[in-house]
Structure 1
């Protein structure tokens, strides 16, 4: 009897670290994309701070919601002084700060960017697990996948489109932006690529039915001068042109569904 009781006590002791693991109570996010998923998943009072860029409506789809949280600038010193028990970071975010926080003993969960629509549920799942909000993450994923399935309906005619950004940069089908374009019912002239620089000559020869550009930033930028080039202006005069809301496209969050919906409405307007 005594031996059985000792064995039971040992098993209980071994199980304690797993059972006693609690959800973090003070979370700091230092990446725009983890900011937005965390704001949607975190329990009340659990998320303490988000990155400063989460407040910028040009980049963040949740700029207004971000105002409810103190902003951080990704510096190790300021984040450590916030005394978080969990830091959410991107895999390319402020590497020096991330490594310093790890050396100081702070738990850091690094979340890679979403490179496709299929990556988004995994990113939600990762952050939900880190926050101890698995049920909420599963519910968000279910809503996302159901809506995405509805948006992926067959399209009879697919107009051609070019995504054209500053410095003449474009993105192909093997990117999140490219998949948004395809799902909305367009054919991307960049094709099955990651993208890259698209010379004006090739853009003119492709003669797309639509040109999708980003919203210009305030002030003057030499990188954006190409968007006002006479060749681009001539193409815009013949084709439909649309300046997209970049904040819905930048991160792999459920807000990409709004980007798809808006582009699909634009396509239907062309028809």
Structure 2
């Protein structure tokens, strides 16, 4: 009887440990949106205020119906979370303090490929104790990707403020690849980063992909208004930053749009 009681105690303890957390707080824009996709109703206590900003979030309306936070340890602590979700590069002091206060903090790395997006969806399901919901999200994501018909092979340059272009090992480069395109950095054999306007002109890409523009004038974006940039004979495509800033299932739509 003693052994049986001990075994039951272990089983009960294991079941309790595996129970989905009832109060979850996210303090990172990307974990915010993944959590909103996977969490059960009422499971999320709050997400970061950025999730409610439609200029950077694809789920601003959903975030508006959830509590919001500004990522401070004090603010999060009083919400009594069982689990805090953060990005690898989220506010270190806040997450460190929360851990010292005995709160479970889990981080998800940024997605640098479609494979990373899939992995993070499954990991979010595991962290929230919602593997079935995560599996449903993944099935829809894979179906959307499978429906994409890649276009003809062409070279595409992503070009943003300060002449930044994506490297070949980035999520945006993998999205281009899935659409039948090759990132210019891959063609040039570079790791991405700053690309001068002169280098871009000489590279003669078939397509140039730009992102969101700031509402206020920005010197960093001046390069995008230069006559030489406008004169490059390339197909132009605008992809809002929010469409591929985070590794979300919605990147399948970005792949499809670029493929067209």
Category of TM-score, reference length = shorter chain: over 0.9
2:150·2:179 contact (CA, 8 Å) conserved in 1? no
> What is the SS of the residue equivalent to 2:66?
coil
Counterpart selection for 2:242 from 232, 247, 253? 247
**Residue of structure 1 equivalent to 2:104:** 107
The number of residue pairs the alignment matches comes to: 257
> What is the SS of the residue equivalent to 2:125?
helix
> What is the SS of the residue equivalent to 1:48?
strand
Counterpart selection for 2:144 from 143, 147, 156? 147
* Greater than 4 Å deviation, 4+ residue runs: none
Deviations 1:195-244 (A, max 9, x none): 11111121011111211011101101111111111210111xx2221221
What does residue range 107-126 of structure 1 map to in structure 2 within 5 Å? Answer: 107-126=104-123
Per the TM alignment, residue 150 of structure 1 is displaced from its structure 2 partner at its CA by: 3.1
Cα distance in 1, alignment partners of residues 108 and 191 from structure 2? 21
> What is the SS of the residue equivalent to 1:190?
helix
**Residue of structure 2 equivalent to 1:268:** none
2:150·2:178 contact (CA, 8 Å) conserved in 1? no
Cα distance in 1, alignment partners of residues 66 and 190 from structure 2? 38
Cα distance in 2, alignment partners of residues 63 and 154 from structure 1? 30
> What is the SS of the residue equivalent to 2:217?
coil
Cα distance in 1, alignment partners of residues 14 and 191 from structure 2? 42
Cα distance in 1, alignment partners of residues 94 and 147 from structure 2? 41
Report whether the alignment pairs 1:261 with 2:241. no
**Residue of structure 2 equivalent to 1:92:** 89
**Residue of structure 1 equivalent to 2:14:** 18
Larger Rg: 1
**Residue of structure 2 equivalent to 1:56:** 53
> What is the SS of the residue equivalent to 2:95?
helix
**Residue of structure 2 equivalent to 1:188:** 183
**Residue of structure 2 equivalent to 1:228:** 225
Instruction: After superposing the two structures, state which structure 1 stretch, 18-27 or 128-137, moved more.
Output: 18-27
Per the TM alignment, residue 24 of structure 1 is displaced from its structure 2 partner at its CA by: 1.1
Structure 2: unaligned runs, 5 residues or longer: none
Cα distance in 1, alignment partners of residues 185 and 238 from structure 2? 18
> What is the SS of the residue equivalent to 1:13?
helix
> What is the SS of the residue equivalent to 1:211?
strand
What's the RMSD between the two structures over aligned residues? 1.4
Per the TM alignment, residue 183 of structure 1 is displaced from its structure 2 partner at its CA by: 1.1
Report whether the alignment pairs 1:32 with 2:29. yes
Per the TM alignment, residue 145 of structure 1 is displaced from its structure 2 partner at its CA by: 2.1
Structure 1: unaligned runs, 5 residues or longer: 266-271
Tell me the TM-score normalised to structure 1 length: 0.91
> What is the SS of the residue equivalent to 1:45?
coil
Deviations 1:103-124 (A, max 9, x none): 0111111111111110112111
Cα distance in 2, alignment partners of residues 11 and 232 from structure 1? 71
